[in-house]
């Protein structure tokens, strides 16, 4: 496993790629999260299967996107469903001890290649964003990686899409247009 890609930051017109950008509306959040960009996350899928989580689980607390947060945080109900589906897709690999708040970790010693389930976010206006494989696992060492998501203790915690999940995605902040765009990154 390798983790050595860089990104770019572009300001002004022409910063976004014209091809493949999917835009979703920015949402208004409570005062506690008013300094962040809110997104209308309504669901998550694992290997193209929608998780059985009501959209109200996401909407009751809201979801933000934040480059300063590493690991995505989800309401407890959503996280448990994601974790369980991911573990089912990873049952051929040996789980190992948890790392801090990451409770779904694997020992990949002896494997030349590793295959793991794809994950996608679904937003209220029908936009689905497939995460790049680099945005699914948090690499701890050359042989150990963990699911790069964590759950809150209950469903009242604010959902946060962290920077690991934004890897290799072009994220376009169109604040004037009150929307955010996602596309596969144009840089490696």
pLDDT of 6 strictly over 60 = no
Q: Compute the distance between CA of residue 86 and CA of residue 106 in angstroms, rounded to an integer.
A: 12
pLDDT of 10 strictly over 90 = no
DSSP string over 131-169: PPGGGTEEE-SSSEEEESEEE-SSTTSPEEE-TTTTTTE
CA distances from residue 169 to 21, 84, 119, 163, 165 in whole angstroms, order as listed: 10, 25, 13, 10, 8
| Per-residue pLDDT at 1 | 42
**pLDDT, tens digit, for every residue of 46-62?**
999 999 999 999 998 88
Instruction: pLDDT band for 2, please (50, 70, 90 cuts).
Output: very low
Candidates 2, 23, 19; CA nearest to 124 is 23
| Its pTM surpasses 0.75 | yes
Instruction: pLDDT band for 29, please (50, 70, 90 cuts).
Output: confident
For range 76-86, the mean pLDDT? 98
**What is the overall mean pLDDT for the chain?**
88
pLDDT of 70 strictly over 70 = yes
pLDDT of 170 strictly over 80 = yes
For the domain with range 22-184, which CATH number is right: 3.30.70.1230, 3.30.1450.10, 3.40.30.10, 2.40.70.10?
A: 2.40.70.10
Q: List the domain boundaries for the chain.
A: 22-184
């Amino acid at each position: 496993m390798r983790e050595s890609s860089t990104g770019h930051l572009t300001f002004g017109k022409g910063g976004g790629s014209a091809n493949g950008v999917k835009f979703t509306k920015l949402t208004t959040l409570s005062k506690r999260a008013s300094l962040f960009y809110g997104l209308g996350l309504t669901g998550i899928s694992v290997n193209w299967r929608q998780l059985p989580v009501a959209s109200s689980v996401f909407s009751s607390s809201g979801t933000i996107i934040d480059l300063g947060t590493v690991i995505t945080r989800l309401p407890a109900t959503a996280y448990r469903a994601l974790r369980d589906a991911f573990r089912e897709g990873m049952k051929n690999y040996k789980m190992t001890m948890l790392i801090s708040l990451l409770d779904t970790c694997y020992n990949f010693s002896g494997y030349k290649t590793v295959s793991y389930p794809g994950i996608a976010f679904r937003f209220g206006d029908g936009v689905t964003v497939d995460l790049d494989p680099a945005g699914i696992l948090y690499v701890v060492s050359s042989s150990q990686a963990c699911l790069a998501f964590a759950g809150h203790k209950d469903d009242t915690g604010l959902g946060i899409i962290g920077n690991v999940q934004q890897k290799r995605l072009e994220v376009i902040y169109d604040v004037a247009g009150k929307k955010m765009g996602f596309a596969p990154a144009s840089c490696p």
